[in-house]
């Protein structure tokens, strides 16, 4: 059961945003996926779905959305996802910090679109060096390599590393 708008949340603090934000977010996700019906979903579509969910989470003004999105260094849709200067970018895309997976610095240096955020056009993206993460593990301790690393989930346990 959803609390009505303005209802106090005693256990967490603040007030409930009500069902409207959830209904609106589900409607946006539905429209987005219906627009891609009978087509393969693109990485930018999945970014939007996750960012819309983040928007729903933060609607109560008490919680925050801490998302990191990883994309390919050559995915122009992903690299332009936060190019606010281009216009027409959905506001929900502000709910993630975006980084590119790039193990080849030369490819990154040649990619002009990646650098636009650093030039004041949109937001700068981070860089994830997946090969180094596999070699050094999640904690930059080379004695704990982790060849199973596929991303940056900080709560994913490393079975070889005992705290």
Task: Give the 3-state secondary structure of residue 163.
Answer: coil
Does 127 fall in a domain? Answer: yes
Question: What is this structure's pTM?
Answer: 0.80
pLDDT in tens, 40-71: 999 999 999 999 998 888 876 656 667 889 99
- Rounded to whole angstroms, the Cα distance separating 126 from 122 reads 13
Q: Does a structural domain hold residue 69?
A: yes
Looking at the structure of the chain, the number of domains it has is 1
Q: pLDDT tens digit string along 78-125?
A: 999 999 999 999 999 998 999 999 888 888 888 899 998 888 888 899
Residue 161 within a domain: no
Q: Is residue 112 situated within a structural domain?
A: yes
Range of the domain at 83: 19-136
- Alpha carbons 95 and 25: distance in angstroms, whole number: 13
- Residue 1: inside a domain, yes or no? no
């Amino acid at each position: 059961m959803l609390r009505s708008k303005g209802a106090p949340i005693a256990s967490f603090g603040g007030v409930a945003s009500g069902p409207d934000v959830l209904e609106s977010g589900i409607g946006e996700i539905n429209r987005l996926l219906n627009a891609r019906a009978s087509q393969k979903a693109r990485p930018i579509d999945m970014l939007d779905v996750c960012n819309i969910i983040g928007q729903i989470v933060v609607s109560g003004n008490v919680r925050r959305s801490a998302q990191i999105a990883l994309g390919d260094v050559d995915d122009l849709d992903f690299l332009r996802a936060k190019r606010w200067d281009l216009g027409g970018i959905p506001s929900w895309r502000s709910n993630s910090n975006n980084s590119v997976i790039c193990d080849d610095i030369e490819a990154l240096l040649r990619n002009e679109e990646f650098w636009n955020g650093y030039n004041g056009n949109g937001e700068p993206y981070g860089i994830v060096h997946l090969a180094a993460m596999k070699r050094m593990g999640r904690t930059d301790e080379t004695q704990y390599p982790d060849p199973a690393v596929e991303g940056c989930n900080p709560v994913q346990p490393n079975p070889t590393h005992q705290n």
